[in-house]
Amino acid sequence: MSSSHLGTPKGTRDFSPQTMAKRQYIFNQIRAVFEKFAFLPLETPSMENLSTLTGKYGDEGDQLLYKILDSGDFLKNTSLEDYQGGSGSLLTKIASKGLRYDLTIPFARYVVMNRHHITFPFKRYQMQPVWRADRPQKGRYREFYQCDADVIGTESLLCEAEIVAMINEVFDLLGVRDFSIQINHRKLLNGISEVIGAPGKQAELAVSLDKLSKIGTEKVLEELLDKGFDKEQLDRLVPVFDLSGSWPELRQELEQFLNKSPDGAKGIADLEEIHNLILKLGIKNSSVTVNPTLARGLTYYTGTIFEVTIEDSGVGSVCGGGRYDDLTGIFGMPGVSGVGISFGVDRIYDAMEQIGLFPEQNLILAQVLLIAMDDHSQEFALGLLSRLRSREISAELYPDRAKLKKPLNYANKKGIPTVVLIGSEEIDSGKLTVKHMVSGEQERQSEEQLINFLVQGT
């Protein structure tokens, strides 16, 4: 195979050491917040049975699932008829597993399978890749990481307030200033669809509203017309697009608008309680806005929904979630409410790169490179190498015998700040030649001086 044909599959990427260092930085901050908020780690397999995955993400989701071909002679249980029936007909006979599409459905499966051993409310976090056969574009990959935190087994709105607190803390830690948390409530959407005269059509409404920021008011209204909403209903809907302001103002407007809807009233009451809990938690809530048209695509949400965007980032939502009253019901365990949030590390990375938020130097580096000038010096260098590492100093010995230029170039390219030259003179005198790569300065140090310098930086 010629190297010119090499590549990774479309929508997937390699992560170089430089990129890895920045990604690890994001993962570590998110994990620290999850653990401080007392969420416990969980991991589920990359593959799930297709019976677990299909039908959970809507028709479009089913299309985007990656299916894994059964191993061995995968055609052995198929007939000519299956083949002639087309892909849909053959699929179920040749593929029984698929790749994880999100972390929420596998979590629900885990909870149902382990319900007798789990202490509820169960707070778990999970940081793993998911796969979607989506059309790749800016900020959208076919393999990407989700970092999820969910609480299941309580209806307490404290969980919603804590999610807002976690979002605030994560982006604060990452140094992201201009982020905005939008909140809405699915019952508010139910209320809106009741009030405009289209009760029961909240799902269709939500799917179209979800596109508001992408395609604009005109197109959304056109789409709703196509879906069978009539002119009169849309006329009643349009004022909702203009609702805005701080929560106390907005609440009044919503109370008027949703006047006769019990679902609407429940939505408003929940948002009011969350607003108060956020205040009591002492969170600067300037970043939190209630947006009555926020919808989110996923069908399983029934209560609060969240979405986070970063200004001038060039990517869509970087974080989202919501409350689901009956997620485990699909697996035979009804009536367990939960709420969760998912951070999209790949988009957060893209946004931080775009804005220039990564600390200058966070690549894991060797602190020191040893260079043995001849065969005789190698023995001493090997001993020194071990002694440095036993002091938890990240160190390496240039492995090849080469002119000085090559190992110095190696240190430079790798960003190793200190180089130690070891020859017979250094061994005899007990004074090592220490070269500081940034300044180019060179000095003679004893081993003890070198270790002190590397450990304490003095």
- The residues in 116-135 that bind its own copies, with binding defined as CB under 8 A, are 119, 121, 123-124, 129, 131, 133
Query: C-alpha angle with apex 167: 164 to 169, nearest 5 degrees?
Result: 110
Q: With respect to its own copies, which residue has the nearer C-beta, 304 or 309?
A: 304
Least spacing, CB of residue 211 vs its own copies, in Å: 23
Span 362-421, contacts to its own copies by CB under 8 A: 363-366, 378-379, 382-383, 385-386, 389, 392-397, 399-400, 409-410, 413-414
| Unique residue bearing structure tokens 């701080």 | 246
Q: Taking CB under 8 A as the rule, does residue 452 contact its own copies?
A: no
The sign of the dihedral angle between the CA atoms of 330, 332, 337, 338 is negative
**Least distance (Å) between residue 172 CB and its own copies:** 11
Minimum gap (Å) between residue 77 Cβ and its own copies = 11
Residues 183-202 that bind its own copies (CB under 8 A): none
Q: Of 25, 27, 58, 68, which lies in the binding site for its own copies, with binding defined by CB under 8 A?
A: 68
Q: Which residues does residue 341 pair with via DSSP β-bridges, in sequence order?
A: 149, 321
Q: Give the N- to C-terminal CA distance of the chain in Å, as an integer.
A: 52
Per rule CB under 8 A, is residue 25 in the interface with its own copies?
A: no
The reply to whether 437 sits near its own copies by the rule CB under 8 A is no
Bridge-based pairing state of the strands 395-397 and 368-372: parallel
Q: For its own copies, what does the binding mask look like between residues 88 and 117, x meaning CB under 8 A?
A: --xx--xxxx-x---------xx-xxx---
CA distance 122 to 338: 9
Beta carbons of 455 and 391 less than 8 angstroms apart: yes
CB of 129 to its own copies, least distance (A): 7
Near its own copies by CB under 8 A: residue from 29, 57, 66, 207:
66
Q: How far is the CB of 88 from its own copies (least distance, A)?
A: 8
> 379 φ, ψ to 5°?
-60, -45
Please, which residues have CB within 8 angstroms of residue 230's CB and are 6 or more apart in sequence?
none
Give the C-alpha separation, 300 to 201, whole Å.
Answer: 15
Residue by residue, DSSP assigns 366-383 as -SEEEEESSHHHHHHHHH
The residue count for binding its own copies (CB under 8 A) is 112
298 binds its own copies (CB under 8 A): no
Q: Which is nearer to its own copies, 356 or 399 (CB)?
A: 399
| DSSP run (H or E) holding 150 | strand 143-152
Pairing of strands 304-310, 319-324: antiparallel
303-362 residues in contact with its own copies (CB under 8 A) are 330-333
DSSP state of 121: S
Helices (H), 114-227: 158-173, 186-195, 202-209, 212-226
Q: Could you give the 3-state DSSP secondary structure of residue 349? A: helix
Q: Which is nearer to its own copies, 64 or 243 (CB)?
A: 64
| Cβ closest to its own copies, residue 13 vs residue 236 | 13
Name the residue nearer to its own copies (CB basis): 316 or 338.
Answer: 338
Q: Does 215 bind its own copies (CB under 8 A)?
A: no
Q: How many Å apart are CA 211 and CA 204, to the nearest integer?
A: 12
Measured from the CB of residue 57, what is the shortest distance to its own copies in angstroms?
Answer: 14
Least CB distance to its own copies at residue 98 (A): 9
Q: Which is nearer to its own copies, 227 or 389 (CB)?
A: 389
* 15/215 with CB nearer its own copies: 15
Phi, psi values for residue 387, rounded to 5°: -65, -40
Residues 147-186, mask of contacts with its own copies (x by CB under 8 A): ----x--xxx-xx-x---x---------------------
